Structure 1
């Protein structure tokens, strides 16, 4: 005869547990009945609800995931739109941009283009205005019409927000690209204008379960310094309201090179930071202007070098450490400088005295 190993509990314990469960159900119902501006639930309830949602998939490797409002920013004329169209086309076709990962299904994409005319678009995606690249029919592009403000709207931004939502509903696209954010606010560089703008985009994202990529500019920056979140126009408000962000930098050693760097991330760890930026060149092998991946590198290798004098004291310290048998890297670590500067100091010592 099989022995019943099911544990037994005193009736008092069972009754207490049942009462707690009933109390919990009542508490949840009471909270639900009182929903207003805030939806209050226990942390465990939120985790249980989250477990019913799908895990976000990569749209552009670790740079942009499903369900995120992501900002890509760069200085003017670095090719933000080129990369954005390439990303949109990748998602639309369900084909990754090598060597990066892509996990989502092929799907419609809606691209709001406030930068290029249709003729400029043709120049990029054709071969001398013939032999056009063939996009899929569900990659939609929106371009502004020159029209008067319709009745019922008090300003252009109000009408723009309305038109954005209407076209999202019409196309049923879940992936949206906005190129660029300057046209979605009168003075979006200022924090007072960035806040309502980002609130509206966040509301659209939540309402329609969207993934949004927004292009933005950097103000004039010091090219000797690494790119940070402070280099985004309206940085404080914009960064607070986005889920992720990455930047395009121009190599100061070779101006034909661009690099991508993660700036903010929530769904992943930082993979493409200052120690592993992604290097690209811009090419047009046939009829599609695009970023072509070259290799990975370190951001400092592509920054402007500060003009610096080599003081006699530093030269003497480097020479002394060399005589002790220290390597370039060991000397650099002791002196708190880069090993390439140690090399310059030693060369200066062997060439001539430095004043």
Structure 2
């Protein structure tokens, strides 16, 4: 291990997933030493694509000494994480309205993950802290409790529109940063917008149900004959209203169906993609149709719209792993660009602080 310089930031990524935050922080020059996640499938992407070690553990019962030991020789320490908060997501709230509030116990368990993150911050006392999550979390009592855990830190938080950081996706995320070294502020990001074409336009054509022989992740789900007819009548940025009436689903004829015009939609080449979800590989699950090929986007295209490089490896068996498993890993990932701009913010922040304020 090389000798740490006086301003090098050493990070631990809790709830690391497949490494979107880890990879982004690393791209900004931050030394991520450890990723922690309860899902063993996350071991491969962390170890294959970054310099971090992986610990398969539940953050809810994680010994704070594990994190503290990583920071023992760190000049500056950073504790990062994205606690899963499906109860606060737009999709979960829509399901709650449709089916009723029957999952209170599960939501309470997920809320507790944010509290466990705050507890670890309080116990370890890192120099820097960051958390990103779904925007509705900011209206929940658990977020107020997290801010209380950050007593003694300078902090800032805001909802970041990912288009403004250069991600080709209309995704909004709550970003929190905190520092014991001095005042810190999240800027108004104004990076050059990127589009679907800029992200995936050079990938080879493949048919529905087909796969690129040189990339097992560049494969698209099959389409029924009915959905193949539907996508052939779909316009980029259009809706199912563009179809002949005999192709429309019975749910579209109901009043409730009129509120979901983007399902079975195509993306537009020269605009950002919609929010990439765990079901983005399915044509009927949102505006996930390819702009001009008659298929849903491939898993590789989904990952690149999340900011991952073209050669990023998610699983050792990508050619045989299910769409559901890979879709879950990709859709739940922190966008790489978000990790990168957070890393750049911390690097700039530490460089502005007096050397004696950093831990030696």
TM-score normalised by length of structure 2: 0.26
- Which is higher, the Rg of structure 1 or of structure 2? 1
TM-score normalised by length of structure 1: 0.26
